[in-house]
Structure formats: C-alpha cells, structure tokens
Structure 1
C-alpha cells in the first residue's frame, strides 16, 4: 500500500497516525515531540498537566493551565517543524480556560472527547487552531456537525471515531462492550462517513475521519484506510516507548499484561473504562474506598460522595510508578506489547508493515 498523507485543514502529516492523548501525564511534551518529529501528529494530554508543579495542591486549575502552556512550548522547542495537538476532555470543569490557553499558544489541533464539545468552535474563533471532536458513533458525529453548522457555521476540521477496543474512557455502555463484535471499528468508520456526507456536500469540503481503538499494526491501519478513514489514532503502542512520559513501572505494566488482565471498570467520570487489572482496582471495586480523598471538583460528572476513589489521584500515582495506589488504562490489545522501543523504531515498523499490505 502507498502511504497516504493525513491532511487536517492546512496541516499535512506525512505519517497518517495521530498519537492519542493519554492522561494523567502519559503523553506530555516528550512523547508528543518525538511523534511529531517522525512526521505523525503528537498529542499532549490536557488532563491534569500541571500535576508536577509546586502550586498544584494550592491552585489546581491555574497549575493545569501553566502545565499545559509549559508542555506546548517545550514540544514546540523539541519539534519545531512537527504537528502538535492537545487532547482536552469536555468533562473537565475548566474546559473553556484550557482550550483558550492552548489556542493562545497557537496549538495546531485540539482533540475533544468525553462529552459533546458544542462550544468549541467559538473558543477557537479567528485562530489557526484546528478542532476535532472524538465520537463513538455516526449519530454523535451527525449531532455535532448539525449543531456546529447551525450555531457556528463551522464544521469539524477532522473527526476521531473511537471504537470499543480503545483504552481509557469509552463512549459505550457496559452492555454494548459485551457485544463488541456489533461495533467493529471499520463499521463505525463507515457509519460516521455516511453521517457526515450531507455536511461535506453543503460546505464542499472533506472532513477527514481518524479511526482509533485497538489499532496495533500495519494490517490494522491498512484495513481502516481501505474502509475510508484518512488516518488512525494509536495510543497503547506509544506507551512502551523510551520517550513516553510515564514511569518505567507504568510501561512495565503494559509489557507484563496478559489478555486476561484487561478489565472494564466503572470510572468516576461516569463512563466505562478499559484498564489493566491490579490490586488497587480489585480493592476499590470491593468497596475498600481509599482514605483521605480530597476532591477539588475537577470533573463535571464526578460525585465525591459516591465515587469509590479520586481518579486524578489514582492516575497520577500510576504515572509516577506507584501502582499500589493507582492503575493503568490500556487498549484491548495491550497483551501484544512485549518490549520497549523508540518512537522512531515503532513508526518505521508500522510504516514498513503498512507498505506490505
């Protein structure tokens, strides 16, 4: 197969891969810059990016804005010619402020999931920043396009469709995840393409669809490109790289994971999530709630009185390597990851594999 470029507005990535945004602190400036330097799109996670800053415990919202700005600037320094994006969850309480900070820093692309980012077009108005909502169905893609068209006369610059094999928070019910074969990523891509067609015709421009969730090798990429996707989003494979911002212990959890270790959890965010089973998760889902939870109301759907644990704390602990007090989100194919490699080695391997398809 001839490797196609991925075009999002005026941006052109020679490698049709978007590295998924992984929080907390799994994809920051080191990983995003390394990916961007290889011709793909590197993405900084906008979930608690200020957790290492001294003022994080005193003013979390400001620390996260400062952290986001720091990592955008650092990624730019490390990859001056590369395409850098940020992933900002719609579910966070300071979504608007985080988006505005990213736009002010002239970020190339904002990816927004975990909710419907209906205000996003007005937040990037008069900027060069491209916006790409993350959806789980053609119905949601159609709803966003309809609202953006009606209220803002704007269409998504790209759409990411995440299937049920993705890691992290999933846009599917637990019941749907038990019928995973009914929601194949190829089928979802075709469903989204059909849903956005009227809007593409109205505006006389193509909306590139990027497919993510369970994408592991060149054969997976080829199948999705043939189904009509313009590119793919990959996250799990980038964790087991030297440049990934996670701790060595976090990366080792990926390398050690077996297929039966992957589980679906009920997250405080209000969505199901896919994670690697460990003692922390087994304890909290037996209602052994951690003591001393200090909630600062970072997520719109989270109810501190009912939540089993603070997801921000758990993910920060895991990022730092303290997996006794946290856990690792991961995609369905994490059990196939067996070693560490460089980002360059990984992307070269994927592209060579893709050429053979």
Structure 2
C-alpha cells in the first residue's frame, strides 16, 4: 500500500501516524519530538504535566501551565520543523487556561477528549492551532459537528475516533465493554466518516478522520487506511521506545506483562479504563484508599468519596513506583517485547504498511 501524507489544513504530516497523548508524563517533549522528527505528529499530554515542578503540590495550576510552556518549547527545539500537538482532557479543571497557554506557545494542534470540547473553537479563535474532538460514536461526532457549526460556523480540522480497545479512560459503558456489547472501531469509523462527509460538503473542506484504539502494527494501519481513515493514532506502542518519557520500570512492566495481566478497571472519575493488573489495582478493587492531598485536577472527582487519587496513582507509575500506580494500556500492550528507538519503530511500521495489500 502506498502511504499518503496526512493533510490537516496547512499542516502536512508525512507519515499518517499521530502518537497518542499519554498522561501523566508518559508522552512529553522527548517522545513527541522524536515522533515528529520521523514524520508523524508528536503529541504532548497536558494531564498534570507540572508534576515535576517544585511547587506542584502547593500550586499545581500554575505549575501545570508553566510546565506546559516548557515542554512545548523543548519539543520545538528538538524538532524545529516537526508537527507537535497537545492532548487535553475536557474534564480538567484548568482546561481553558491550558488551551490559552498552548495557543500562546504556538502549538500546532489540540486533541480533546474525556468530555466534549464544546467551546474549543472559541478558545483558539485567531490562531493557527488545529483542533480535533475525540469521539467514540457516530452520535458524538454528529453532535460535535452540529454544535461547532451552529455556534461558531466552524467544523473540526480533524476527528479522532477512539474504539473500545484503546488505553486509558474509555468512552463506553463499563457493562458494555465487559459483556462485549460495544461497537467495533471499524463500525464507528464508518459512521463518523459519513458524518464528516456531510460537513465537508457544506464547508468545502477536507475533515480527516483518524482511527484510534488497539492499532499496533503496520498491517493494522493499512487496514484502517483502506477502510477510509486518513490516518491512525497510536499510543501504547510508543511506550516501548527509548524516547518515551516514562521511567524504565514503567516500560519494563509492559515488556513483562501477559495478555491476562490487562484488565478493565473502574476509574475514580466513573469512567472505565484499561490497565495492567498489579498490586495497586488489586488493593483498590477491594478497599478505598485514603486521599490525603487533592490536586483539584478533574471536575467530577470528589476527594471525599473517590476510591483513590488518580493523579497520585499515575505519577507513581510514571516515576517508576509501578507497584503503587496505574499503568494504562491499550488492548495490545502485552505485545511489547522489547524497547526500541522511535526511528526503528516508525521505519518498521512504514515497511509493514508498504507491504499491506
């Protein structure tokens, strides 16, 4: 299969791969820049990005904004001509301020999920920043396009369609995932492409639709490109790279884990998630953990009732304290068997797509 660049407005991504945003701290400037240098779109995760700042515990809001600007600047220095994007969760308490900081820093694109980014066009108005919602159904895609069209006379610059095999928080009901009743990425992608076509016709623009969730090999990429996707988003696969910003113990957890170690968990914010089973997951499944410090990171989280602090669990994991943290993963995380460079991984994926028929 011949690979065509992913064109998002005036942005050209030579290899149609978007590296998924992984927080807290799993995909920062080093990983994002490495992917961008190989022709993909590198993504920085904005989730609690300031966790290494000295005043994070006492002033997390300002620490996050400061760190975000630093990471975008570092990524630009490492990849001056690459395409760098940002993943921001709508559920964050400081969402608006983080968008402002990213736009001010000249970020190329913002991808938003964990809620519907209803006000995003207004927040990036007047900038060159491209914006995309993450959707898990045709219904959500139709709602976002209709809302942005009616409120702002704007349509998404691209749409990321995340299926049920993704890592992290999932946009599906827990019962549906456990019972296997959720729609497949293939079916959701087809629905979203049809909705995008309606608005492409109205606005006379191309709205690339990006497939995400469980995509692991070049063969997977080829399959979804053949189904009509303009590109793919891959997160978990990039954890197994030298440039991934997480601690080596975090990466080694993926190399060591088996298919049976990956399970669906209940997040403190009420969403199902997919993670590697470990001591921490077993402990909080049976008993509520005391939350001594609330970071005020997510709007829907109540520190008095939450089963554990998601920020602390994710920070523990990325810093290498893997037995006391949460390691989110896509369904294929167990297939990572070694740590390679981003260059090696991208070249392997490109070869596999080229061989796909």
SS at match of 2:306: coil
- Alpha-carbon distance between aligned partners in 2 of 1:298 and 1:182, rounded to the nearest angstrom: 29
Deviates more, 1:29-38 or 1:195-204: 195-204
- Alpha-carbon distance between aligned partners in 2 of 1:292 and 1:207, rounded to the nearest angstrom: 43
Name the residue aligned to 2:250: 250
Asked if residue 356 in structure 1 is aligned to residue 355 in structure 2, the reply is yes
Q: Which runs of 5+ in 2 are unaligned?
A: none
Q: CA deviation at 1:206?
A: 1.6
Q: CA deviation at 1:296?
A: 3.0
Q: CA deviation at 1:269?
A: 2.4
Relative to 1, partners in 2 of residues 1:302 and 1:185: Cα closer, same or farther, differing over 3 Å?
same
- Alpha-carbon distance between aligned partners in 2 of 1:270 and 1:209, rounded to the nearest angstrom: 28
Deviates more, 1:267-276 or 1:95-104: 267-276
- Alpha-carbon distance between aligned partners in 1 of 2:268 and 2:202, rounded to the nearest angstrom: 40
Q: CA deviation at 1:207?
A: 0.6
SS at match of 2:114: coil
Deviations 1:263-284 (A, max 9, x none): 1111122211000000001001
CA contact (8 A) 2:241 2:341 kept: yes
| Matched ranges for 1:264-303 at <5 A | 264-287=264-287, 289-303=288-302
CA contact (8 A) 1:164 1:180 kept: no
Name the residue aligned to 1:259: 259
Q: CA deviation at 1:336?
A: 1.0
Asked if residue 107 in structure 1 is aligned to residue 101 in structure 2, the reply is no
Aligned length: 356
- Alpha-carbon distance between aligned partners in 1 of 2:291 and 2:303, rounded to the nearest angstrom: 12
| Matched ranges for 1:31-46 at <5 A | 31-46=31-46
| Matched ranges for 1:79-228 at <5 A | 79-180=79-180, 182-228=182-228
Q: CA deviation at 1:179?
A: 4.7
- Alpha-carbon distance between aligned partners in 2 of 1:127 and 1:10, rounded to the nearest angstrom: 13
Q: Which runs of 5+ in 1 are unaligned?
A: none
Name the residue aligned to 1:13: 13
Q: CA deviation at 1:295?
A: 1.0
- Alpha-carbon distance between aligned partners in 1 of 2:349 and 2:207, rounded to the nearest angstrom: 24
Relative to 1, partners in 2 of residues 1:10 and 1:179: Cα closer, same or farther, differing over 3 Å?
farther
SS at match of 2:151: helix
Deviates more, 1:158-167 or 1:180-189: 180-189
Name the residue aligned to 1:329: 328
- Alpha-carbon distance between aligned partners in 1 of 2:32 and 2:46, rounded to the nearest angstrom: 12
CA contact (8 A) 2:166 2:214 kept: yes
SS at match of 1:44: strand
Which TM-score applies when normalising by structure 1?
0.98
Relative to 1, partners in 2 of residues 1:154 and 1:292: Cα closer, same or farther, differing over 3 Å?
closer
Q: CA deviation at 1:181?
A: 6.8
CA contact (8 A) 2:291 2:309 kept: no
SS at match of 1:222: helix
- Alpha-carbon distance between aligned partners in 2 of 1:182 and 1:271, rounded to the nearest angstrom: 14
SS at match of 1:76: helix
Q: CA deviation at 1:57?
A: 1.1
SS at match of 1:263: strand
Deviations 1:279-299 (A, max 9, x none): 001001101x33452113210
Deviations 1:130-150 (A, max 9, x none): 001100011100000000000
CA RMSD of aligned residues (A): 1.0
Asked if residue 73 in structure 1 is aligned to residue 73 in structure 2, the reply is yes
- Alpha-carbon distance between aligned partners in 1 of 2:322 and 2:172, rounded to the nearest angstrom: 26
Name the residue aligned to 2:316: 317
Which TM-score applies when normalising by structure 2?
0.98
- Alpha-carbon distance between aligned partners in 2 of 1:227 and 1:235, rounded to the nearest angstrom: 20
